[in-house]
Amino acid sequence: MLRQALLALSASKKTRELILATPVTRDVVSRFVAGETAADALAATERLISQGLHVTIDFLGEDTVDPDQATAVADEYIGLLRRLSETDLSARGRAEVSVKPTAVGLGLPDHGEKTARENIARIAAAARNAGTTVTVDMEDHTRIDATLRIVSELRADFPDLGCVIQSYLRRSADDCLDLAEAGSRVRLCKGAYRAPEGIGLANKADVDLSYARCMRILLDGPGYPMLATHDPRLIQIVGSKAQLVGREPGSFEYQMLYGIRPDEQARLAAEGAQVRVYLPYGSDWYGYLVRRLAERPANLAFFLRALSSRK
């Protein structure tokens, strides 16, 4: 309920201006975002890789309204991948990238899907040259069909192009069944957006149950599941299920967000599991920050405390 109210409030222009104008916001942002530049992202990536973790880098931005900006976002990814390759960070897929379809044009009024597909293809080609992969993030429920279509079409040329399924949607188990095939890389998360009653599950317990069901489908299948959650109970269930079906470490991975439960990331990696950290960078961090604050009252409290203690 609080989460839904926060996500709705954050869409208001006034709230956005207030949060952006607040000096302490930057301190809170730095907890979840690696920095504003590609150099910041590379430095954080190098640090995480030296700790035995894998990384997927997200250049922050969404809802691009101009084709030139969509091209510029794709170019940023291509430049980033070149630098990952030069520094050897992308070797054996240790660092890959995550791309939001609306950041590369999906929401454009004219030829949005085509623009996003072409830009993602350019990024996927650069990733292949760098010896690594791309995962296409999933955004709100109105973008799902177009996003899955883009991924399915591009997988003919880039079979390792990954996609994301969100367990808060009623359709997700069916999507997992469709995607649980050899070679497919699927990230499963709970979902950070809102959906109307008939489309999404409103109750947290139902979202968790759906996550467990989707996870079983993916781990039972022949693909490469990427289980993205910080939820201790679900992480435990993933471990048990993986053991039950004889999944070796390296045949699936855990994923968590930068700055969230770093001790758990380290613990799993120390046990030999493959753990990938989703590492965002860039100056367009507003939408990302709001979703992290809305996810957890403690994060909001941290933000409000910082506000009230400002000089």
CA atoms within 13 A on the CB side of 61: 23
Binding mask 191-220 for ligand FDA (x = CB under 6 A): xxx---------------------------
Stretch that binds ligand FDA, among 4-12, 125-133, 149-157, 187-195 (CB under 6 A): 187-195
Q: How far is the CB of 29 from ligand FDA (least distance, A)?
A: 13
Rg (CA), the chain: 18
Q: How many chain residues are in contact with ligand FDA, going by CB under 6 A?
A: 24
Closer CB to ligand FDA, 74 or 215, in the complex: 215
Question: According to CB under 6 A, which one of 82, 128, 170, 230 is a site residue for ligand FDA?
Answer: 230
| Residues from 290 through 309 that contact ligand FDA (CB under 6 A) | 292, 295-296, 299
Are 249 and 274 a contacting pair, CB within 8 Å?
A: yes
Could you tell me the CA-to-CA distances from 119 to 30, 73, 253, 264 in Å, in that order? Answer: 29, 9, 27, 35
Q: How far is the CB of 242 from ligand FDA (least distance, A)?
A: 17
Burial group, residue 44, by CB count within 10 angstroms (0-12, 13-18, 19+):
buried
Q: How far is the CB of 311 from ligand FDA (least distance, A)?
A: 26
Cα distance between residue 218 and residue 90, in whole Å = 25
Closer CB to ligand FDA, 138 or 273, in the complex: 138
172 near ligand FDA (CB under 6 A): no
164 near ligand FDA (CB under 6 A): yes
Are 60 and 69 a contacting pair, CB within 8 Å?
A: no
* 137 in catalytic set: yes
104 near ligand FDA (CB under 6 A): no
Cα distance between residue 257 and residue 190, in whole Å = 13
Which residue(s) pair with 253 in the sheet?
Answer: 226
Closer CB to ligand FDA, 77 or 278, in the complex: 278
229 near ligand FDA (CB under 6 A): yes
What amino acid occupies position 56?
T
Closer CB to ligand FDA, 126 or 228, in the complex: 228
Could you tell me the CA-to-CA distances from 86 to 91, 124, 130 in Å, in that order? Answer: 10, 17, 8
* 187 in catalytic set: yes
Stretch that binds ligand FDA, among 5-13, 78-86, 146-154, 257-265 (CB under 6 A): 257-265
Stretch that binds ligand FDA, among 69-77, 118-126, 147-155, 251-259 (CB under 6 A): 251-259
The count of residues in the chain is 311
Interacting residues of 164 by C-beta distance below 8 A, sequence separation 6+: 135, 136, 137, 138, 186, 187, 188, 189, 228
Q: Which of 229, 267, 228, 227 is nearest to 51 (CA)?
A: 267
Q: How far is the CB of 199 from ligand FDA (least distance, A)?
A: 14
Per annotation, catalytic residue among 94, 155, 185, 187: 187
Per annotation, catalytic residue among 94, 117, 137, 175: 137
Q: Assign 226 to helix, strand or coil.
A: strand
Residue numbers at the binding site for ligand FDA (CB under 6 A): 137-138, 164, 166, 187, 189-193, 228-231, 255-257, 260-261, 278, 292, 295-296, 299
Which are the catalytic amino acids?
137, 187
